Amino acid sequence: MAEEPQIISAIRILFEVIWTHLRLIFEILKALFRFVVPPTPKEVNEDIILITGAGHGMGREVALRFAKLGATVVCIDINAKGNEDTLKMIKQAKGKGFTYECDVTDREAVMQLAQKVEREVGEVTILINNAGIMPCKPVLRHSEKEIRTLMDINVNGNLWMIQAFLPAMLERNSGHIVAMSSMAGKMGLRNLVPYCGSKYAVRGIMEALALELHEDPRDTNGIKFTTVCPYIVNTGLCHNPRIRFAGLMKTVEPGEAADQIVDAVRREYHEITIPSDLYYTNKIFNLFPPAGGRILTDFIGTGLDPHD
């Protein structure tokens, strides 16, 4: 086969560059429009929503809110009592719910869970990977067991759940995967070195997964992704928050965070921070050189002191 003339290749690349610019401009305009006119929240009354870490904190609050919207909520937690308490609250509010005890770090148990949920409840349409732990101390005071456990729950737990529930979503080209990252997954914080690493990993997993499906030869446009990056939420994980300007950087209550998470899922946002203004603050923060970022961090004076 004859090689394509150089002039033809140059013209082809030129048109490709023009087409790429037009697509970029369109996406920028669309984003600006959506900033002014947010998407209409989708109904979830026919969805089966599985939430890990549903036995307390934000997981419980999110479960209750989706149940009130008519969704069937599947509550997953290793803490059977807390999980059952969440289910009781759902039932008291006339909602539909199921509970399953599962250790998300056990891949085989997660695979069995997926089969059981599909058999007993139905195919999960929205997966919310919420389970996580947050030990808070200087990195040299972490034991090997603490770090391995943190990574198993915060990182591997996400991967096992995705491997268990994504195949069915791919088959029907429909589904929504939600991951709980953190502002600690967008910027480093003292006393949270392993935790920051795990939450950066969660964001990386979600970004890479979205790109992998985008490049999949199958039609995967029906599968959505949302990454949630909360600031300090008053769930009991943050024992010693240090906030210099409390009026500007206040601790967020679980109910308030849950409202924003549910709204983001229903509007199919790609990524949110809680509070929302931190999304833009963080982007501005990242424009500074590392030394400048540390100067701003010293001035803001926000972080977490060790738990023990």
Q: Which residues are catalytic?
A: 195
Report residue 76: phi and psi, to 5°: -120, 130
Q: Quote the tokens at residue 41.
A: 């929240």
Contact between 62 and 261 under an 8 Å Cβ cutoff? The reply is yes
Chain centre distance of CA 289: 27
Burial (CB < 10 A; 0-12, 13-18, 19+), residue 10, is: exposed
d(CA 252, CA 248) in angstroms, rounded, equals 11
d(CA 2, CA 106) in angstroms, rounded, equals 56
**Which of 34, 76, 35 has the alpha carbon at shortest distance from 54?**
76
How far are the Cα atoms of 6, 77, 260, 294 from residue 196, in angstroms, in the given order?
A: 49, 23, 22, 16
Contact between 106 and 100 under an 8 Å Cβ cutoff? The reply is no
**Which of 182, 71, 52, 66 has the alpha carbon at shortest distance from 128?**
52
d(CA 124, CA 161) in angstroms, rounded, equals 11
Q: What is the length of the chain?
A: 308
